[in-house]
Chain A
Amino acid sequence: MSREVRLADIARARSGDKGDLANVALFAPDDLLYAALCREVTAERVRVHFGRFVRGAVERFEVPNVRALNFVLHQALDGGAARSLRSDPLGKSYGSLLLRMRVTLTEDEARRAPPAQSPPL
């Protein structure tokens, strides 16, 4: 048995810019879910998920000491913040963009997912 979830249900993220490169760090709440992220969220999947925003390659780095995957997106900011035509020239929202991705968890992993929390409207 397996279950599909959104990354936003199980993970946190932060993104930033460096020239025309963006980085997105994805954080897992525990070791089991970190292993699930390592299995599910490949560089290639991230490249496809970002669509036309990313014109270059995507690299993935494992940062197990903080249970994170760090994705480096090349040619991802429309030439860089000061020459970008976009509303989000710094890629600040790229973290949330990644959290939209759907991944498949085992029953065991799904049980470990933290309870859903939402802010008051």
Chain B
Amino acid sequence: MTSIRIGAGQGFYGDTPDGAVAVAERGDVAYICCDALAELTMAILQRDRIRDPGGGFARDLPSFMRALLGPARSRGIRVISNAGGLNPSGAAAAVQEVARELGIDGLRVATVTGDDITARVDELREAGEELRNMDTGADIATIRDRIVFAVAYLGARPVVEALERGADVVITGRVADASLFVAPMVHELGWKWDDWDRLATGVVLGHLMECSGQATGGNFSGDWWNIPDLDRVGYPVCEVSADGTALLTKPAQTGGRVSVDTVAEQLLYEVLDPRLYMNPDVVADFTTVRLGQAGADTVSITGVRGRPRPDRLKAIVGHLDGWLGAATIGYSWPHALAKARHAALLIDRLAKRAGVVPIEQVTEFIGVNSLHGDAADVETAADIAEVTLRVAGRFHSEADASRFPRLATPLALNGPPFIGGAGTPQPPRALMGVWPTLVERRLVEDAVAVSVASAGR
């Protein structure tokens, strides 16, 4: 029976290319799919785009491709990446440039555009799209003048078109993470766009693979200390058959672990209602997934059921939401927590007197409660060796966000004793709200375009 092997190359913006290179060299794959985007990443890329109109794509794309293109090209492996972010065309040009540097001739690089609806927000509203916040129901008018980007999640179709047109590398913007992986399955195995169960299988596999090492032992909450060689963890590789049965494994001679437990943890990562996992091309029912240990570091995935795709596409709208000003000061034993608490009180007073009062404030005692909040056991911290105080405020203006941490700096000399790690004040950072919404599919898809260009010609 026809089958296809696909590897994961990247789990986030900033991921190492080592995993992708190992997949290319020892994964026996025909495709490597790279997911560089997350909600937070879009906000970061937007800041880049403001600073430099030629930016807005993952800045590590050139160095990533410098490592991956050679091993991929020599084996005929095709690479699909959404590292184009908010500027897929600029990203594709950067890939072409890397190909020229490496002396790779005739590399066909495809670009998928149309997900970026930043300039179309008013047009869409005039066309009847309310763009309400799908979590809170709020009216988009409340953020309209603060919008800095808006992108819709595209499915696998434009990527399949790029593959049909012979692309060696496909660069996209906000194609849904899992859809990057679904595309080569549809292309190679001839799945139909209304074969919901197979598409759902593809989405489950893509979902499992899009966070790279998180399916193969990374972040495992069981006996993580027994997992071998996480410093060279093998990124996931799947083998999918035309009938929709699949195996998940990793390249030979890599670290990590592929077990029912490591895979199950990733199955529910960032999942809401598991019966209705929404993807642009299908709604997958994660409660139907059957996982089985099929061999060493190999898990079988069967039984996945899907339902017809949603009528509307998800989109996210990034909008400015004030400025972050934050200060940290470390305190040592004895009474480290009491000192940090007292310093927080002093900073509150200083801020009030200076008229630099945050709209919202978070006061954390790192080492005690910054991660577990009210559930943290503060009593056991009475004799703790060290505590870092962190005060973070949200401000309307960049100037206030900049002044706030500087109010804390003098406490290095004027406050409680035995400090450590009272660094220079951190520069203020723009805060960005991410507004989830839904948009009519046709209004987005009519504007999606695929172009293919050859490098080195």
Contacts and interface: CB of A to CB of B under 8 A. Distances in A.
A82 B264 contact: no
B371 A97 contact: yes
B402 to A, nearest CB: 16
B371 A19 contact: no
B221 A13 contact: yes
A33 to B, nearest CB: 14
Nearest to B224: A119
A14 B208 CA distance: 13
Identify which of A14, A20, A49, A88 gathers the most chain B CB atoms within 10 Å of its CB: A14
Identify which of B268, B322, B360, B392 gathers the most chain A CB atoms within 10 Å of its CB: B268
A39 interface: no
Interface stretch (B16-24, B118-126, B430-438): B430-438
Contact of A87 (B219, B264, B364): B364
A21 B324 CA distance: 21
Contacts of A50: 373-375
B302 to A, nearest CB: 11
Interface in A13-41: 13-14, 16-21, 23, 25, 27
A66 B289 contact: yes
B224 to A, nearest CB: 7
A83 B46 CA distance: 14
Contact of A52 (B43, B373, B436): B373
A86 B393 CA distance: 10
Interface string B356-395: 0000111010100011111101000000000000101110
Interface in B276-295: 286-291
Interface residues of B, number: 59
Given A19-B39, A87-B366, A100-B375, A66 B267 contact: yes
Identify which of B225, B372, B436 gathers the most chain A CB atoms within 10 Å of its CB: B372
Interface of B: 38-40, 43-44, 135, 219-225, 261, 264-275, 286-291, 316, 318, 321-322, 324, 326, 360-362, 364, 366, 370-375, 377, 390, 392-394, 431-434, 436
26 contacts: A14-B265, A14-B266, A17-B270, A18-B39, A19-B434, A23-B271, A27-B261, A50-B373, A50-B374, A51-B375, A65-B289, A66-B267, A66-B291, A79-B433, A81-B38, A82-B39, A82-B431, A83-B432, A87-B364, A88-B370, A88-B371, A90-B40, A96-B372, A117-B223, A119-B224, A119-B225
Interface of A: 12-14, 16-21, 23, 25, 27, 49-53, 59, 61-66, 68, 70, 72, 74, 78-83, 85-90, 93, 95-97, 99-101, 117, 119-120
